[in-house]
Chains A and B, each alone.
Chain A
Amino acid sequence: MTLRKLFLATISAATVMMASPSFAATELQVQRFFGACDADFGKNTDVSKAVGECGIITSLINKFAADNPDIKVNVTTVEWPGYDQLTAQFASGDAPDIVTIHESALSDYQSKGLLLPLDDLLKTVGVTPDQFTGAAKEGATKDGKIYGLPIDNWTMLYHINMDLFKQAGLVNADGTPMLPKSPEEVLAQAEQFKQKTGKPYFVQNLANETALFTRNLYTYLFQQNSDFFADPKKVKFNTPEAKKVVEMYKAIYDKDYTTKNLDYAGAINAFLAGEGGVQLNGTWVVGDYNAQSEKPGTALNKGGYAVYPYPQLFSGAKAQYADGHTWAVSKKDRSPEQTAAIGKFLKFFADNDFEWSRTGHLPAYKAVIDSAKFKALPHRDTISAVATLGKPLPSQVQRQFAIQDIVGEEMSAAISGQKPVDKALADMESRVNELLANL
């Protein structure tokens, strides 16, 4: 008797389980970085009220979910950049449907056949590559196909505390900050800044950091026309050009022109507290910093906040290192409803790229970057130049995040004096080449 009951119960449970998907909403597994801010924006669907990367992306996804009750969006927030997790998820066959991937990391996954080419899917929702900006299109295209929906291009910037710049006498007659034009001028202005304000010129997150060092090196190698990745499988870092860059940052460190021992969050806090003149940070904080500068009583409100591309310090190409964020889609068996839901999600982000560009990132769509609405955003007059300055590594270079760690480790060792500059550059080159030779 009990056995029969059990049997019946099992059958009915199985029936319910099999039947339920047809009633339930289509589920989308979305995985992203950009941080967690549910306390502030967890329920917000009014995107225009959101500020900063985390606030805007959270509100955008909330808005999408509210507009599409037939689609259930399950968001997993991962620690930046989240690739260790994503790789493990792919390896175990449990990848999310839609995931944030940097343009510089797309080829790692694309080359293993893990990502869905998006051209056809995007066409069904009316998004075509000719709508992308040149940089976005180039970054999202691998082997002639689109592998991620570009949402922005980003780069590093000089975030400036104008109050301290005024105290240091580093302001032009027209009120703009005086920026250096050579490595020597960097050191001279930093010295003047230190003398006048008693504070370091730079606010840098140097503690256990790799990305900042690497982006600084790439930028100033580009500006010296050093073609260090001429062969995407073999890098050249042990060069006079690289030495010049590392020695400049080492001098900045040795002469206390920079904060030391701060991690990323610490550096942001220090800059917002007015503990230094220039913070080296990305496009993603422009929105947040601008909001701070409008708040009375803050260090940035005192004399204003300005933001500029990295100054041109060398006589070569006018360029600086850039990358971009995309939404990529994992390759998986899916129902037509699921595929359509993914299409809707991507279309939503393409349509709302202006909101995302309020973070400070450059828009990935021509229509947005050319719009009056975008140009009217604060500071875009000074930072829009990065649209033409931005330059990524060659797209064939794989494991760019692993390379970034090696380059950053060695640069950090050289700058803080743990290793002679030449030895660090030689190690950097041989370690990266060992990695690339064993792909």
Chain B
Amino acid sequence: MSINATLIGQMITFTLLVWFTMKYIWPPLIEAIEERKAKIAEGLAAAEKGQEEMELAAKKAADVLKEAKQQSADIVNLAQKRANEIVEESKGTAKKEGERLIEAAQAQIEQEMQRAQEQMRKEVSALALKAAGQILQQEIDKAKHKELIGKVSEQLGQA
């Protein structure tokens, strides 16, 4: 239980150990630890940021989707409207065309009728003239009675 020179030997050993630890053991290890800590912190921060960005992107995507839906709905509405318009328009056009056709047909009928009347009048007058001629063959001088015949044929034409 005596204090002796062992004390001095132990102090020397201790000093050497502390010096060695201070010089070669502590610095590289604590440096590695601190560096790793920094790296982990960085990684965590990056992960958090990534998550935030993802949330933001999801929100944005939802917005875009909503907008696209709205847009497509608008387009469909517009198209429907336009289709209705086209149908209405073509209906109008068809009606007009029909009217026009009817009118043309009527005009043609009228014309035909007039021509037929004219024709009939001519034929009737010719027939009448012929008949009258046959009856009055001898008495009527064509040149003398030209005025009279013309009057009659005109009257016939009017009838």
Co-assembled chains A and B: no
